[in-house]
């Protein structure tokens, strides 16, 4: 999930709409709402956040270091002031990157992936036998051949790969893929997506690489 912070609702809703078209969950906050949430949110909720995008209007009210106290997710400033002084000030405040607007949503996703990769939280891809799972939105490959997947199924597979070696619950998958504030979708939709994903992987690989245990969740296995 991507968190966008800006005092203008039009901005947060605009970015949320663009992320949604890429199959990426997001949530928008006004600065005062965000400060309260980030200081009190459960650890599991914060672990579902892939990155924070902070608008220019939030400089005085949102502290990147406060975010860093709770999570290691990248903090990216969206700047509308193309000046060296403003860019340096944002870096001094503790952000990981400064991006000048307008910017394509796919560039933001690429920058987020690059920052997380440098922090060793993401790798460029994960290989499990004949299956190669990319972390930048590309379809996975089986024996070098692309396996086209719907966006939600691809994001679930990426999330499982990013947590390889750990079992993740249905709630954690839902929060990462749909966002923790999506009340229009039932959490059980995860089971349907994973069922379809497992069927496709089983057909291509000859086995099911997703291990599931009731009440414990899912994990990728070799």
State the Cα–Cα distance between residues 180 and 144, nearest whole angstrom: 35
CATH code (residue 156): 1.10.10.10
Q: Is the peptide bond preceding residue 92 cis, with omega within 30 degrees of 0?
A: no
Could you tell me if 157 and 54 lie in one domain?
Answer: no
The pLDDT value recorded for residue 57 is 67
- Residue that wins the pLDDT comparison between 24 and 196: 196
User: How much is the CA Rg of the chain, to the nearest whole Å?
Assistant: 18
The answer, yes or no, to whether residue 31 has pLDDT greater than 80, is yes
The pLDDT value recorded for residue 183 is 65
Could you tell me if 142 and 114 lie in one domain?
Answer: no
- Looking at 118, 138, 154, the residue that finishes a domain is 118
For the question of whether the overall pTM of this predicted structure is more than 0.85, the answer is no
- Determine the average pLDDT of the residues in 29-37: 90
Could you tell me if 94 and 143 lie in one domain?
Answer: no
Number of domains in the chain: 2
- Determine the average pLDDT of the residues in 70-91: 89
CA distances from 51 to 2, 173, 195, 197, 212 (A): 5, 16, 28, 26, 28
Could you tell me if 102 and 10 lie in one domain?
Answer: yes
Q: Please give the structure tokens belonging to residue 103.
A: 């910017």
Could you tell me if 156 and 136 lie in one domain?
Answer: yes
- Residue that wins the pLDDT comparison between 69 and 183: 69
Compute the CA torsion angle 196, 201, 207, 211 (nearest 10 deg): -60
State the Cα–Cα distance between residues 111 and 133, nearest whole angstrom: 18
State the Cα–Cα distance between residues 189 and 174, nearest whole angstrom: 8
- Looking at 97, 118, 139, the residue that finishes a domain is 118
- What share of residues in the chain are helix, strand, coil (percent, to 5)? 45, 20, 35
For 212, the domain range is 125-220
CATH code (residue 9): 3.40.50.2300
Portion of the chain with pLDDT greater than 70, in percent: 94
State the Cα–Cα distance between residues 125 and 92, nearest whole angstrom: 32
State the Cα–Cα distance between residues 200 and 25, nearest whole angstrom: 23
Could you tell me if 104 and 155 lie in one domain?
Answer: no
| Per-residue model confidence as pLDDT tens digits over 119-158 | 765 557 888 889 999 877 789 999 999 999 998 899 899 9
The pLDDT value recorded for residue 218 is 93
Q: Give all strands (DSSP E) within 147-200, no chain letters.
A: none
State the Cα–Cα distance between residues 215 and 197, nearest whole angstrom: 20
Mean pLDDT of the chain: 87
- Determine the average pLDDT of the residues in 5-13: 92
């Amino acid at each position: 999930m991507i968190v966008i912070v800006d005092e203008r609702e039009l901005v947060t809703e605009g970015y949320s709409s663009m992320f949604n078209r890429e199959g990426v969950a997001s949530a928008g906050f006004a600065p005062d709402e965000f400060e309260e949430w980030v200081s009190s949110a459960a650890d599991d909720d914060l672990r579902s956040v892939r990155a924070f995008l902070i608008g220019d209007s939030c400089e005085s009210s949102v502290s990147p270091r406060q975010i860093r106290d709770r999570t290691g997710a990248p903090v990216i400033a969206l700047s509308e002031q193309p000046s060296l002084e403003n860019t340096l000030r944002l870096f001094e405040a503790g952000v990981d990157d400064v991006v000048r607007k307008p910017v394509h949503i796919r560039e933001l996703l690429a920058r987020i992936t690059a920052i997380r990769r440098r922090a060793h939280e993401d790798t460029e891809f994960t290989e499990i036998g004949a299956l190669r799972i990319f972390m930048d939105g590309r379809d996975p490959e089986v024996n070098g051949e692309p396996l086209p997947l719907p966006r939600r199924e691809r994001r679930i597979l990426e999330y499982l790969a990013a947590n390889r070696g750990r079992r993740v619950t249905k709630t954690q998958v839902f929060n990462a893929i749909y966002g923790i504030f999506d009340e229009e979708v039932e959490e059980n939709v995860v089971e349907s997506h994973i069922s379809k994903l497992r069927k496709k992987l089983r057909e291509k690989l000859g086995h099911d690489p997703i291990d599931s245990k009731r009440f414990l969740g899912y994990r990728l296995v070799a």
